[in-house]
Amino acid sequence: MTTTGARSSLHDSEVSITGRLASMSREEAVRRIDEAGARYVASPTDATDLLVVGQGGAPLGEDGQLTISLRKARDLRARGAAIRIVREDEWLSLLGLEEQQADIHRLFTSEQLARILAVPIAEVRAWVRHGLIRPVRVVNRLCYFDYPQVAGARSVSQLTQAGVSPARIQKSLHQLASWMDAADRSPTQLEPLGRAGTLLVRLEDGNLAEPTGQLRLGFERSAAAGADTHLALVPSLHSSSPDDWFERGILAEEEGRLEAAAAAYSRALEQDETRPEICFNLGNTLYGLERKPEAVDWFGRATELDPGYVEAWNNLGNVLAELGETYRAVSAYRRALAIAPQYADAHYNLAETLAGIGDLAGARRHWTAYLDQDPNSSWADEVRQRLGMWVDR
C-alpha cells in the first residue's frame, strides 16, 4: 500500500513510463500509479506530469535512438509543457516505495549478474577488468555491483551486435543526459570510434575497449597501426615477468583458449608461487578443462595464501562436491560464508550439498538465506518449489 505522502505528491498527476523497469513489471507499476491516485498513460501527452525512465537497461529503441516516449516528451517540453523526466528510483521515492527503491541498488556478485544478464561470467569479469563496469564494493576480493550500470552495458552491447552504429548510441545517450537531471549514462564516455560496427568505450586511462571487455589500443592512429592492436596486448614471448605471464593467461582465458591460459598461469606461478589470484585463475581454467583434481589443488593453494579469499573457498567447495567429497565441500562453503555471510552463491551451493546428504533442515536454512539475497534470479523459483515441497517434512 502506498503512503499518504506518496498520494499527496502524485495524486491527480498523469504518469507515463518508458524503457524497462528494474524494480517491477509494467503491470505492477500501473497498479502502483493507480493506488497513488495518479493516472497512467502509455505515451506522454500535453497533460502528462511525469515520464519515468526505467533503469533496467539503456532507454534505446532497436535503432539505437531514444525511445519514442522520450522524444515525444522532449517535443512537449519545447512547446512549453511542464513534463518532468525522472529516473525510476526517484519515481519510487515519490511513491513512497523505499523497499523497491533499495532493490534497484541491491548489490550483486559477478556470478549473480551473469545469471541475471544471461552472459558468461567471464564476460562480466572482462567488463570489470577493462573498466566498463566498476564494483560498488569489494570485500575479500568479492566484487559487488549494482544492477543499472550492468543492465545498461548489456543493452548497449546488444545494440552494437545488432549493427547499430556507435555514433547513434553516443548521440542518444548524450541527449538523455541533457534532458534528464542527474542522468547517468551507462556505460560512460562512449566513443564514436570503431570498425565494422564495433562500439568502443573510452576508459579513464585513455585506452579503448569493446563492450565485451576486449581492450583496443590506438584506433585514432593509422589503419596499419590499428591492425596490430590485438598483438599489442600480448606480452613479449621473451618476457620473464610473472605479471606478463598472468596477463597472457587472462587474455587467453577470455578468448576461450583454456590450454594456453593454463600454461601461462603455470609459467607465472613457476616464478612467483605466492600469488593467490593466479592460483585462483589457474583453478578456474583447470576446472574448465575437466581437470578437477588439479583444480582442487590450486583453489586450495589460493585459500592457503589468502584465507579470506571467498570465491576460492566457494569454487573449492563446488569442485569437491562434484568429485563426491561432500563433507570437505560443506566445510569449504561454510568457510566462505564465515567470511561473507551474505554470499548468495555459497548459500545455494551449501543448501544443495546438504540436501544431497539428507540434512534437509540445514538445506532449508541456506535456501532461505539464498532467497533473502537473490530473490529474483533464475534459481529462485526452483528454490521456492523445493522449500514448498519439503515444508511438511
Amino acid type, 188: T
Structural class in CATH, domain 242-389:
mainly alpha
The pairing of beta strand 14-18 with beta strand 50-53: parallel
Domain ranges of the chain: 4-104, 107-232, 242-389
In this structure, of 146-150, 278-282, 283-287, the range with the lowest mean pLDDT score is 146-150
In this structure, of 199-208, 236-245, 313-322, the range with the lowest mean pLDDT score is 199-208
Calculate mean pLDDT across residues 126-150. Answer: 78
Q: How many CA atoms lie within 13 A of 249 on its CB side?
A: 25
- Give the model's pLDDT for residue 240: 66
Q: Using a pLDDT cut of 90, give the percent of the chain over it.
A: 41
- Give the model's pLDDT for residue 134: 79
Calculate mean pLDDT across residues 33-53. Answer: 93
271, 260, 283, 281 alpha-carbon torsion, rounded to 10°: 70
Calculate mean pLDDT across residues 20-35. Answer: 89
Structural class in CATH, domain 4-104:
alpha beta
Calculate mean pLDDT across residues 124-139. Answer: 76
- Give the model's pLDDT for residue 362: 96
Do 377 and 116 touch, CB atoms closer than 8 A? yes
pLDDT top residue among 54 and 193: 54
pLDDT grade for 87, boundaries at 50, 70 and 90: confident
pLDDT grade for 102, boundaries at 50, 70 and 90: low
- Give the model's pLDDT for residue 238: 52
- Give the model's pLDDT for residue 194: 37
In this structure, of 121-125, 140-144, 162-166, the range with the lowest mean pLDDT score is 162-166
Do 297 and 132 touch, CB atoms closer than 8 A? no
pLDDT top residue among 199 and 41: 41
Q: Which residue has the cell 579503448?
A: 208
Round to whole Å and give the CA distance between 301 and 103. 36
- Please determine whether the domains at 4-104 and 242-389 fall in the same fold group of CATH: no
Round to whole Å and give the CA distance between 348 and 382. 11
Would you say residue 116 has pLDDT above 80? no
Would you say residue 193 has pLDDT above 70? no
Calculate mean pLDDT across residues 358-385. Answer: 89
Would you say residue 213 has pLDDT above 60? no
Paired with 138 in beta bridges are 143
Round to whole Å and give the CA distance between 55 and 155. 11
**C-alpha distances out from residue 163 to 160, 167, 184, 261, 341, Å:** 5, 12, 24, 31, 43
